[in-house]
Chains A and B, each alone.
Chain A
Amino acid sequence: MSLVSIKDVRKSYGANEVLKGVSLDIKRGDVTAIIGRSGSGKSTLLRCINGLETFQSGSIAVDGMAVGDGKTDLRTLRRHVGMVFQQFNLFPHLTAGENIMLAPTVVAKEQKGEARAMAESLLEKVGLEGKFDAYPGQLSGGQQQRVAIARSLAMRPTVLLCDEITSALDPELVNEVLRVVEQLASEGMTLILVTHEMRFARDVGTKLVFMHHGLVHEEGDPKALFANPGTPELAQFVGGIH
């Protein structure tokens, strides 16, 4: 059974139909890389999965919980779906450690001590031990993004959504973030990544999704698709990148 199941999802902003019937199945442990041109609907799809955007028709289910049917509480869903943003969106008035501890203490009602211990181990995991008391403003972009990843992990999500999480970074900081994501992948975390890092999509991804004009135009094994695009659109997109 698939962990995330998306069926014929349609979404419009006014008259502009952005998702035109997207269907996608993602298994537990999959590392799915979503690629495609700007405006093809990648972010919108990702944001529909955790209910940041509503959609008009079709269905999305995560681990058996339906999104946006009014029956499943969005809060319950979001405790299982983590999200990391392009612009980090760390809370600037809290330290790195407090950023990570916030949801566990406020939402999951964990003890302060436990949450703190977990925050410390998560910081270590993303290579930021000793930065517990640093404010986001005192960290580099790459460090901030790693804190943001740790913040999502603190809720022990079943699936982690990442929307172009390296696009706002200086080139020399991209790798430190990708290494963290790669480690998560190797630990079996289910990941859905919108990315422009084609090499990363090919080497780390277990599944490639090419979106085009609001539809899944092609999907399959990353290495196979990069080597042999099935459609001229993907060929052109991949060719245009390299």
Chain B
Amino acid sequence: MLEFTFSVILENLLLATRWTILLSLIAFVLGGVVGLIVLFARVSHSRALRTLTIGYIELFQGTPLLMQLFLFFFGVALLGVEVSPWVAASLALTFWTSAFLAEIWRGCVEAIPKGQWEASESLAMTYTEQMRHVILPQALRIAVAPTVGFSVQVIKGTALASVIGFVELTKAGTMLNNATFRPFLVYTLVALIYFALCFPLSWYSKRLEGRLNVAR
């Protein structure tokens, strides 16, 4: 039988942390791509598109992430496809992330003064040209801090994937606890690893925000 020394526990947790990081990256990158599409629809001239995306955002922001994970896990199975926790967790976290990022970025786009839209419109630019050359470059500058800040929420969100059987940091903690009966040690370590992942991002986000405020 394996001896569960401190270092064995820590090593197993750190190995599982790889999957937390990978799942976070998937959710953040794919969620960012989908979020950009949602953003374009959200600030478009089409009322139908806007209403649709308001509903989409409300749906993902107004319901528990845990429920979304369950729905993707059991919902994809209904289509007759075998679902792995990987697929369900990636899908749920991607859409969840996209809704929040789209909303954060909308705030940044709307912070750009109306005069910028009018001036570029007067120069005969199309909507896409305005977005691409005038609005987004400016919105991007103010979006960096809250976007980095939200990445912390994504990392913490991946912890819920443990509930549908995805073996990442939290699930590994639960499994190690069941094997070692040392819950205080195990969950303290789990918490500290999450802290080590999240705190630098929180700190960096705050610093960026501060720098932007000084620049204004």
Classify A-B as touching or not with yes or no (CB < 8 A): yes
Asked whether A89 lies within 8 Å of B116 as measured between CB atoms, the reply is: yes
Additional pairs, 16, CB under 8 Å, beyond known A78-B122, A102-B134: A52-B121, A75-B124, A78-B121, A82-B122, A85-B118, A85-B119, A91-B116, A91-B119, A91-B134, A93-B137, A93-B141, A106-B129, A107-B125, A152-B122, A152-B123, A155-B123
Tell me the complex Cα distance, A76–B125, Å: 10
Give 27 A-B contacts (CB < 8 Å), ordered by A residue: A52-B118, A78-B121, A82-B122, A83-B118, A83-B122, A85-B118, A85-B119, A89-B118, A89-B119, A90-B119, A91-B116, A91-B119, A91-B120, A91-B134, A91-B138, A92-B138, A93-B141, A102-B123, A102-B133, A106-B129, A106-B133, A107-B124, A107-B125, A107-B129, A151-B123, A152-B122, A155-B124
- Those of A92-120 within 8 Å (CB) of chain B: 92-93, 102-103, 106-107
Q: Does A10 contact B (CB under 8 A)?
A: no
Q: Does A121 contact B (CB under 8 A)?
A: no
Enumerate chain A residues within 8 angstroms of B188, measured Cβ to Cβ. Answer: none
Q: Does B213 contact A (CB under 8 A)?
A: no
Asked whether A89 lies within 8 Å of B123 as measured between CB atoms, the reply is: no
Given contacts A93-B137, A93-B141, contact A85 B115 (CB under 8 A): yes
Query: CB within 8 Å of A: which residues of B?
Result: 113, 115-116, 118-126, 129, 133-134, 137-138, 141
Asked whether B115 lies within 8 Å of A103 as measured between CB atoms, the reply is: no
Tell me the complex Cα distance, A62–B144, Å: 43
Closest to A52 in B: B118
Tell me, rounded to whole Å, the shortest Cβ–Cβ distance linking B94 to chain A: 30
Tell me the complex Cα distance, A152–B120, Å: 10
Tell me the complex Cα distance, A85–B114, Å: 12
Name B's interface SS.
Answer: helix
* Cβ contact of B115, chosen from A50, A89, A93, A107, cutoff 8 A: A89
Q: Does A11 contact B (CB under 8 A)?
A: no
Tell me, rounded to whole Å, the shortest Cβ–Cβ distance linking B116 to chain A: 6
Q: Does A206 contact B (CB under 8 A)?
A: no
Q: Does A79 contact B (CB under 8 A)?
A: yes
Closest 3 A-B residue pairs measured CB to CB? A89-B119, A89-B115, A78-B124
Tell me the complex Cα distance, A26–B130, Å: 31
Asked whether A93 lies within 8 Å of B138 as measured between CB atoms, the reply is: yes
Enumerate chain A residues within 8 angstroms of B121, measured Cβ to Cβ. Answer: 52, 78
Tell me the complex Cα distance, A107–B119, Å: 13
